[in-house]
Amino acid sequence: MNNEARSALQVSGLSKTFTGVRVLDGVSFDVFPGEVHALLGQNGSGKSTLIKCLAGVYRPDHGAEISIAGKPTRPGFPPSGARQLGLAFVHQDLGLIPDMTVAENLALGVGFTTRGGLISWRKQRSLAEQAIDIFDLAVRPDELIRDVPVTMRTLLAIARALQTRTGPNSSELACLILDEPTASLPDNDADILFAALDRVKAQGVGIVYVSHRLDEIFRIADRATVLRNGVKTGSYDIAALDKRALVEIIIGQKPPTTSSSAATSRPSSAALPDVLRVSNVSGIRIKDLSLTVRAGEIVGVAGLGGSGRSELARLIFGAQERRSGTVQVADTTLPAGSVSAAVEAGVGLVPEDRRRDGCVMSMTVTENMTLVHPPTLTSGFLDLRREKRKVRDSILEFDIRPTDPNTVIGTMSGGNQQKVVLAKWLEVNPKLLILDEPVQGVDIGAKADIYRSLRSASEQGTALLMIDSDFDNLAELCDRVLVIRDGHVAEELVGAQVTSAAMSRATFGIADTHSMLTTEFDEGDR
């Protein structure tokens, strides 16, 4: 291939292993100058790791080769080295400082120009104006970033990445890597970004474009490289594909999940009353969302990163103020933004970030486990004896190790910490338990224990709403799965439809004809 000599970025044999787990396995791809190259894959396919390897945040395993503009580099360069080699990154959070001006933020990229040790603001302002002119942006150099609209900020971040670093060893920008650049943009502003990217392409810069939004890929990308479980499935010309074909490449052929039969064999909870009724709730990403969960039902929430999955949990639980809509638990209407009221009404939340939100790391197993309602005597003092008994029972029931109730929870493994968080809520017999990534970073044994506890809780009538980015987990446990797209429930999968392949298709907005048929069949059967 004669393309190789002039590739903007060429990666070959890139692997990355974390404590024995191979997250990336021999990935090779190349990006031509002036092309938009999409990097696609499901949650956990290894995209983020790949980008962090390119940025120098992670050091790739031995044997990886990365060439930039035809020049081989030594993989394992520090993060500060990437730009000098000709790579620039615009991450999802943009890396702009809200309380600094446009000129100052741009200078953070290209460096400050000094005269006699002091910053030359005149020079700095004119550099900023040059950057602003790249995209004809309607901002002044001395405006604060916080006063600049979101779309403009994204373009400023890109402009900053384009500005050549003024240094003796610096290279021209060869390749720009954009990680989910439209994730925070208003829908109609994507066009502004794409117009800007066309100008970048015209300069002969290669663009790596990471996005979950396939419509964008078809509008802007020339080629796509797809990762699945850390392995590259191939690089494809976008013009030769349609959306459905691309989704099948991204998901791959997964064997049908056997455990969904376990879900269908469960007694139908159709006769049981609704425990949770969410009507027309809106937050930041969530728009006008409604759903219901019945007593004893396990309902999954599937969605891509940034679809508002976790926000939904916070909105229901009152940890985030909702803009509109109502949340009803049993007969209680929950006030917006009050966790205490939600807990009082019988709602629990197992949060996504266990270390920050789930456990109080400095407290013991006992103290964490009884935090919601510490057992008290009539005098108002703690009933230490009853507490001890309860905690010992829970430790046995959940198989928590070490078994000492006075262990400080921060010293325990993630799986055992998660069991404590779960025990804490199940101990108060909640009407509704919301689980956000309940088995993330948990080993297989602990995962099985957690699932067993969840099933038994649901048999006792607790309604479970479970959010998980790993759709296999949802398929294993859930009676019903709601697919969140564009901030609302776009699809609902029931019974035999609850497969991870069906969820993946639905999150990308591809109708699953096979499942559609089964829906009709199911309806007729009832």
Partner 1 sequence: MTQHVTDKPQVASGPAPAGAAIQSNRAIAVSASRFGLPVLLIILIVIFSVLAPQTFATVTNLRTVLSTQSVLAVLALAAMMTLVIGEFDLSLGAQMGLSALLFPGLAANGTLPLPVALICAILATTLVGLINGILVAKLKINSFIATIGMAALLSAAVLAYSGGNTIYAGVPPSLLSIAAFAPLGIPGPIIYVAVIALVVWLLLQRTPFGRWMAAVGGSRDAAKLSGINTDRVTVVTFTLAGVLCGISGVLLASQLGSGNPAVGPGQLLPAFAAAFLGATSFRVGQFNVWGTIFAVLTIATGVAGLNLLGLPSWVEPAFNGLALIVAVTATRYLRGKPL
Radius of gyration of the chain (CA): 26
Q: H or E segment at 424?
A: helix 414-426
Look up residue 98 and give its two tokens.
């809200």
Q: Coil, helix or strand for 223? A: strand
Residue type, 45: S
DSSP at 403 = -
For helices 243-251 and 500-508, the axis angle rounded to 10 degrees is: 140
**CA 48, chain centre distance (Å):** 10
Binding mask 34-53 for partner 1 (x = CB under 8 A): ---------xxxx-xx----
**CA 207, chain centre distance (Å):** 22
306 or 461, CB closer to partner 1? Answer: 306
Minimum distance from residue 18 beta carbon to partner 1 (Å): 4
Binding flag, residue 284, partner 1 (CB under 8 A): no
Binding flag, residue 438, partner 1 (CB under 8 A): no
Q: Which stretch binds partner 1 (CB under 8 A): 1-9, 207-215, 226-234, 459-467?
A: 226-234
State the Cα–Cα distance between residues 147 and 102, nearest whole angstrom. 10
Minimum distance from residue 74 beta carbon to partner 1 (Å): 22
State the Cα–Cα distance between residues 383 and 198, nearest whole angstrom. 68
Closest CA to 109 of 162, 177, 150, 53: 162
Q: Please identify which residue in 100, 108, 249, 339 interacts with partner 1, judged by CB under 8 A.
A: 339
Q: Please identify which residue in 240, 265, 331, 356 interacts with partner 1, judged by CB under 8 A.
A: 356
Binding flag, residue 132, partner 1 (CB under 8 A): no
Minimum distance from residue 104 beta carbon to partner 1 (Å): 25
Look up residue 287 and give its two tokens.
């728009």
Burial, 363: exposed, middle or buried (Cβ in 10 Å; 0-12, 13-18, 19+)?
middle
Residue type, 156: L
Q: Which stretch binds partner 1 (CB under 8 A): 73-81, 396-404, 409-417, 453-461?
A: 409-417
Q: For partner 1, how many residues bind (rule: CB under 8 A)?
A: 50
Binding flag, residue 80, partner 1 (CB under 8 A): no
Q: Which stretch binds partner 1 (CB under 8 A): 60-68, 233-241, 320-328, 377-385?
A: 377-385
- Nearby residues of 444 by Cβ (< 8 Å), 6 or more positions away: none
Binding flag, residue 447, partner 1 (CB under 8 A): no
Binding flag, residue 288, partner 1 (CB under 8 A): no
Minimum distance from residue 278 beta carbon to partner 1 (Å): 19
Q: Please identify which residue in 29, 32, 317, 508 interacts with partner 1, judged by CB under 8 A.
A: 317
| Residues at the site binding partner 1, with contacts judged by CB under 8 A | 18-19, 21, 23, 43-46, 48-49, 229-231, 305, 317, 319, 339-340, 342-344, 349, 351, 356-363, 367, 370-372, 374, 376, 380-382, 384, 410-411, 414, 424, 440-441, 469-470, 472
